[in-house]
Structure 1
Amino acid sequence: MDKRLIAERFARARDTYSQEARVQQQVAEKMLRLLTEQTPDFIGSAPPPRFRHIAEFGCGTGSYSRILLHRLQPESLLLNDLCPEMKECLGDLLLQDTVQFMPGDAEVLDFPEKTDLITSCSTLQWFSNPEKFFARCHGFLADDGYLAFSTFGMENMREIHALTGHGLDYLPIEKLKELLCPYFETVYAEEEIVTLPFATPLQVLQHLKQTGVTGTEKKVWTRGRLQAFCNGYTEEFSREDGNVSLTYHPIYMIARKKKI
C-alpha cells in the first residue's frame, strides 16, 4: 500500500470530497446512529459520559467529526488524518478548545491512553495491517472502551475491479470479526449494498477522482484505455433507466475492549 500516493490523491480531492462523497456521508450518519443504539448509557438525547475522550482516525474533511462533536459532546476529540492538508478543512472544528488535529499514519501513531472511543468512517480499507492496528487500539483504550468503525466489503466498486483488475483487498465481515476477536467483543456488525446511478462511465471516473478513492491506481489513462473502459462499463453495468451503476459495500462494526 503506497501511503504517500494515497495521501496525495486525497489531498487533491479535499475541495470536492464533501460534495461528491454521498455514500460516505450517509455511512457517517448511520455509524453514529448505530453507535448510540448499540452502546449503553444513552438516555433520550443525552450523550453517555463513557465517551468523554474520543479519537477519530482518517477524519478527512470532517463530515463524521462534526457529527461526533455535536452528538457526543466529548471533553476531548482528537482528529487524525494521513494528509496534513486536511487541517484546512477542519477550521470550524479546531476553533473548539476540545478538538485537536494530529496528522500522520494511524497505523503507527500513538493515540492517547485511556481513550474511551476510537472511531472512524470509510478508512480501514486503506490499512496495511488491520489486525496489528486492532491490537494497538486495545492498548490505547480505557477499560470497557469501544472501537467503532465503518469500512467497505468485497463487493465495493466491483465494476471498477471487473474492468481494470485493480482495487483494494477488501475484507469480508466475518474476517473482520475474526481479526477483532483476540482483543474485542463484537457488539454489532452489519453490511449493506448501496448502488449509485451515473449518466456515463466518465462520470463514474470523475466521481472517484473527486472523492480521492483512486489512491492506489498508478496506471496512466490513455485515450484507448479510457474508450475501452467506457465501452465495457456501458455494456456490462447499464441500468434499465439508461444510467450506469457503481456499487458500494459498507460494513459497520462496533466492538468493546476485552480484558486480556
Structure 2
Amino acid sequence: MINKQLLKKRFNNHAKTYDAYADVQKSMANQLIDQLSSNFFNQEIAILEIGCGTGYLTQLLCEKFPKATITAVDLSSGMIEVAKKKVMEDRVSFICGDIEEISIERRYDLIISNATFQWFNSLHTTIKKLYKQLKPTGSLLFSTFGNRTFEELHLCYSHAKQKLGLFSNSSPGQSFFSLEGLSQICEQALVPLREHPFKLSKMEKLEVQYFPTVQAFFTSIKKIGASNSNEENYCQRPSFFRELINLYENDYRNENGIKVTYHCLIFNVTKTNQ
C-alpha cells in the first residue's frame, strides 16, 4: 500500500531536483509521444494528463497539439509550481490532487500519464474510472515501470538477507507488475464495460543506466522523490547495507559503472465503435 501523504511530501521536497535526475522518465515520455496518433495533432481536442510532475510531458503535448486544451493533474503542489514556470499557456490548467480520489467531470479525447500508475493503490478501479471519461474513439495512453525494474538491486537485497541470515519478507522498494500482469488488470477492469468496446495495445522496453557508485544510484532515486513509499518495513541495519553495496559492486560493476535496469511498460487503450 502506497502512503500517499509520504509520497506527496517526498515529491514536494524534491521538485526542484527532479529534472536533473529523471532521465529515464523523460525517455518514457518521449516514447509516449511517439505512440500518439497523428490524426489528433491539428485538432481541437481535450487532453487530461495524470501525474504531470515538473511538466516535461506537458511541454511535449503543447508542442504536438497546438490547438488542444490540457488539464494537468499532480499529487504534489511543489511539482506543479515547477511545471507552471515551464508551461505558461492559457490553454493549460493545473490541478493539485490525487486522481484516485478526485472526481472527473468532463470527457477527454486523450488521457495520458507518464511513470505514474505505479503509485496507484486501486489500479483496477482507477483504470475503469479513466476509461469511462474517454470520448468515443478516445485513448488512454500510459507508461509505468515493470517487474524487472531495479532487478539488480532486488537480487542483491535478497542475497544479502540470505548471507546475513535475515528471513523477513521485506524488499528494497515497490513490486511492479509484469507486462502480462498489468494486461490482465486492464482486461478485468474493462471487459465488463461491454457498451464501450476497446482495443488494447502494449509494449515493453528495458533501459540500462550506469552510475559511478551504488550510493550515486540511491541518491538519484532520492532526488526525484521516488524513495520507497510503501507502508512496509525494509531492513535498515548498517551491516546489511554494507553487505548489499558490496554484493552490488562485485556483481554488477563493469567498465561503464554500476548497472541499473529500468523496465518500461507502455499501454494504449482505445475506445472503438465496434
Q: Superposed, which structure 2 residues align to 1:93-108 within 5 Å?
A: 93=86, 95-108=88-101
Q: How far 1:142 sits from its partner (Å)?
A: 1.0
CA contact (8 A) 1:55 1:119 kept: yes
Structure 1 gaps of 5+ residues are: none
Q: Distance in 1 between matches of 2:241 and 2:96?
A: 35
Is residue 206 of structure 1 aligned with residue 204 of structure 2?
A: no
- Residue type matched to 1:243 in 2? G
Q: Superposed, which structure 2 residues align to 1:1-260 within 5 Å?
A: 1-35=2-36, 39=37, 41=39, 47-49=41-43, 52-93=45-86, 95-164=88-157, 165-181=171-187, 182=191, 185-216=198-229, 221=236, 223-239=238-254, 241=255, 243-257=257-271
Distance of aligned partners of 1:186 and 1:166 in 2 relative to their CA distance in 1, 3 Å threshold: farther
Distance of aligned partners of 1:176 and 1:140 in 2 relative to their CA distance in 1, 3 Å threshold: same
Distance of aligned partners of 1:215 and 1:84 in 2 relative to their CA distance in 1, 3 Å threshold: farther
Q: Distance in 2 between matches of 1:27 and 1:249?
A: 10
Question: SS at 1:249's partner residue?
Answer: strand
Q: Distance in 1 between matches of 2:85 and 2:51?
A: 18
Q: Distance in 1 between matches of 2:210 and 2:68?
A: 41
Aligned-pair RMSD on alpha carbons?
2.2
Q: How far 1:93 sits from its partner (Å)?
A: 4.8
Q: Distance in 1 between matches of 2:107 and 2:256?
A: 53
Q: Distance in 2 between matches of 1:48 and 1:177?
A: 31
CA contact (8 A) 1:5 1:215 kept: no
- Residue type matched to 1:249 in 2? H
CA contact (8 A) 1:55 1:111 kept: no
Distance of aligned partners of 1:74 and 1:154 in 2 relative to their CA distance in 1, 3 Å threshold: farther
Q: Distance in 1 between matches of 2:75 and 2:7?
A: 8
Distance of aligned partners of 1:48 and 1:95 in 2 relative to their CA distance in 1, 3 Å threshold: closer
Structure 2 gaps of 5+ residues are: 158-170
CA contact (8 A) 2:7 2:229 kept: yes
Q: Distance in 2 between matches of 1:85 and 1:56?
A: 17
Q: Distance in 1 between matches of 2:235 and 2:72?
A: 34
CA contact (8 A) 2:199 2:272 kept: no
Question: SS at 1:56's partner residue?
Answer: strand
Distance of aligned partners of 1:18 and 1:242 in 2 relative to their CA distance in 1, 3 Å threshold: closer
Task: Give the TM-score normalised by structure 2.
Answer: 0.84
Task: Give the TM-score normalised by structure 1.
Answer: 0.88
The percent of aligned pairs where both chains have the same amino acid is 25
Q: Distance in 2 between matches of 1:53 and 1:168?
A: 33
- Residue type matched to 1:231 in 2? N
Q: How far 1:94 sits from its partner (Å)?
A: 5.1
Distance of aligned partners of 1:161 and 1:9 in 2 relative to their CA distance in 1, 3 Å threshold: farther
Question: SS at 2:39's partner residue?
Answer: coil
- Tell me the equivalent position of 2:168: none
- Residue type matched to 2:70 in 1? L
Q: What is the aligned residue count?
A: 251
Q: Distance in 1 between matches of 2:273 and 2:98?
A: 27
